[in-house]
Structure 1
Amino acid sequence: MNINYSQFYRGTTNIPSYGAGPYKKDTLVKYMFNTKDAHGNKIRDKMSKEETLQAMKDIRSGYGDTVIVEFSGDGMAALVESKKSSLVPEDQEAMEEKNAAFQKEITQVDNSLKGLPTYSGMYGADKTIASVLENCGKEEREFVYSIIRQNFLVENCGSMTEEERQANISLGMKKAEYAAESFVSKASRNSFLEAMESIAKLASAGTEDRSGNMDYRVAKGKYLGHGGKMIQTTDSLDMMERMDKDAYAEYCNIRKNDDDGLSSLKYLTNWCQKVGQESPSMVDEYEKLSREYLEKNVKNQKLDKTFAGLETGSKAAFFESLKMFQNSNPNFLSSILNQELASKFWGY
């Protein structure tokens, strides 16, 4: 049975080209399968395991080898996990075993993404981190950006309680401390840690909707160039969503029935031209919202200290102290800690 997946399409982004030959990647395409809309209204049932696998197979088959296809949303079976707080220990254990087995069969996001920078939207912090990592190796860069992606600015936290979400941020900060001590130059350590802490505070202040999707309330980071030469630009679609909700609703309506993406792109382009002519101050107002939010809600945010006792002097020390924490707290943040302890980065 042929299914029209265009309603789940969430955009195409050109990414810095990397790889060579059949492994070259230069485009990121996003699809999101949610069971509820932004207002919490149910729009579809969760997909079964078979439906999820078939959807991913069908969608990926429509793109070439240079394209990375990213899947998200609580409507896909592989991305769904009940909050642990709602499960009795026996049910929780069964759920974790089932999910662990299923994750071996399915990839939520192409692994090629792990080498790409992850930005917070705070230009100063993003540029500082990018500059510091310019002289680091690929493994070290991936490690730092994975902190931002997996510990700080997680897109969906539906599988975690709020206590676990905050603790995950704490774990990220200890990983950042390890990075600072291990492969960041001494001259850059303080600025690097300050930048990472500012992103951690942004993450800590984030809010979660009923589907587990996170909102960090700052303009999305969109940049030209890299490292110390990185230049900030405006994410037009994010600005539309936050500043002109009627236009964004119309854009989403067009996108649902836009198989090739051209109609929605044309609408966005025309909207940008209209804003430039009729509301030239919108960009400043859009950026001002982020600055005010950061000053009021993020600047003085207190960070969780759950993992403050981890050792950061070496890989072995970090790994062993994290393992000891897990042994003492076997039912706390278990999937995150299992993933961390299994990471090739630690080499154990």
Structure 2
Amino acid sequence: MLDAAYSTISQNLLVHNVGNMTEEQRQAMISLGVEKAQFIADNYLEGKQAKDFMEAMTTIAKFAVNGKKNDNGTVSYAIEKDPLVHAPDDYIHIDDLVKEAFPEKWQSFKDKIVAATEKQDKDALVEAFKEYNQLVKSIYTNQPNLVQDKIKDYGNWQETIKNTEVSKHFSQLDKTSLSNFMEDIKTTNAWLSNEFLVKDLKNFQRYLTRNH
């Protein structure tokens, strides 16, 4: 389950290079990622654990939706910032902000992710994501001076993220079983290439079934 969650983030949400994908295809890919996350929550998690997991994945998806793709297909997932006169690019990653504000807690988060992966501990994974979300929220709530140093128009950015809607290219899919879910994805798809979808679903299935 852990690998399925990580692959969903890396292959559907925070993809750093999307090649020649159109923006609509990229948004469809993100929509598929949210549905895959919901499948994991519905079938492998329960109660508050499932709720916390989906809150974290939805937050990641919102950052993904607001990603900016350049002509080379590279996508930057960031918050607008200014002034940073000598910054190497136009964006700063959320991870960089957390790392600067809470260096020790940031390292602790990274260590917990590694440990959870090695132990296949889904409870620890959900808890780590929950703690990460709290760190992000804490920066904007308790350290506005840090944010203001990096972001000229933080208020607009915050409102943008709050109001961001993930597209419904894929929605209300049959999640009663993995086979039904995958078949429904194939039937619904009208945006992603067959090559991408075959590889994506193959990995998702492999990660969810290899220990069964």
Interval containing the TM-score (normalised by the shorter chain): 0.5 to 0.7
Aligned AA (1:204) = V
1:337 paired to 2:200: no
Aligned AA (2:170) = F
Secondary structure of 1:157 counterpart: coil
| 1:312 paired residue among 168, 171, 175 | 175
The structure with more helix, counted as a fraction of residues = 2
Cα shift readout 1:28-85 (whole Å, capped 9, x = no counterpart): xxxxxxxxxxxxxxxxxxxxxxxxxxxxxxxxxxxxxxxxxxxxxxxxxxxxxxxxxx
TM-score normalised by length of structure 2: 0.63
Cα shift readout 1:107-139 (whole Å, capped 9, x = no counterpart): xxxxxxxxxxxxxxxxxxxxxxxxxxxxxxxxx
> What is the aligned partner in structure 1 of residue 161 from structure 2?
298
Cα shift readout 1:229-256 (whole Å, capped 9, x = no counterpart): 76769xxxxxxxxxxxxxxxxxxxxxxx
> What is the aligned partner in structure 1 of residue 64 from structure 2?
203
> What is the aligned partner in structure 2 of residue 224 from structure 1?
107
> What is the aligned partner in structure 1 of residue 86 from structure 2?
none
The structure with more strand, counted as a fraction of residues = 1
Cα shift readout 1:240-282 (whole Å, capped 9, x = no counterpart): xxxxxxxxxxxxxxxxxxxxxxxxxxxxxxxxxxxxxxxxx98
- How far apart are the structure 2 equivalents of 1:318 and 1:217? 32
After superposition, the CA RMSD in angstroms is 3.0
1:180 paired to 2:23: no
TM-score normalised by length of structure 1: 0.40
In the TM superposition, residue 283 of structure 1 has moved relative to its aligned partner by 4.7
Cα shift readout 1:137-180 (whole Å, capped 9, x = no counterpart): xxx11111111111111111232111100000000010010011
Check conservation: 1:201, 1:302, Cα contact below 8 A: yes
Check conservation: 2:29, 2:192, Cα contact below 8 A: no
Aligned AA (2:173) = L
In the TM superposition, residue 336 of structure 1 has moved relative to its aligned partner by 2.1
How many residue pairs align between the two structures?
Answer: 159
In the TM superposition, residue 207 of structure 1 has moved relative to its aligned partner by 1.3
Secondary structure of 2:173 counterpart: coil
In the TM superposition, residue 188 of structure 1 has moved relative to its aligned partner by 1.8
Structure with the larger RCO, 1 or 2 (CA within 8 Å, 6+ apart): 2
Q: Equivalent residues in 2 for 1:78-97 (5 A)?
A: none
> What is the aligned partner in structure 1 of residue 31 from structure 2?
170
- How far apart are the structure 1 equivalents of 2:183 and 2:158? 38
Check conservation: 2:62, 2:164, Cα contact below 8 A: yes
In the TM superposition, residue 290 of structure 1 has moved relative to its aligned partner by 9.0
Secondary structure of 1:323 counterpart: helix
Q: Equivalent residues in 2 for 1:29-40 (5 A)?
A: none
Tell me the percent identity: 29
- Provide closer, same or farther for how the CA distance between residues 147 and 289 of structure 1 changes in structure 2, counting only shifts above 3 A: farther
Secondary structure of 1:311 counterpart: coil
Structure 2: 5+ residue stretches without partners: 80-91, 100-105, 113-126, 137-143
- How far apart are the structure 1 equivalents of 2:54 and 2:147? 29
Check conservation: 2:3, 2:207, Cα contact below 8 A: no
Structure 1: 5+ residue stretches without partners: 1-139, 234-280
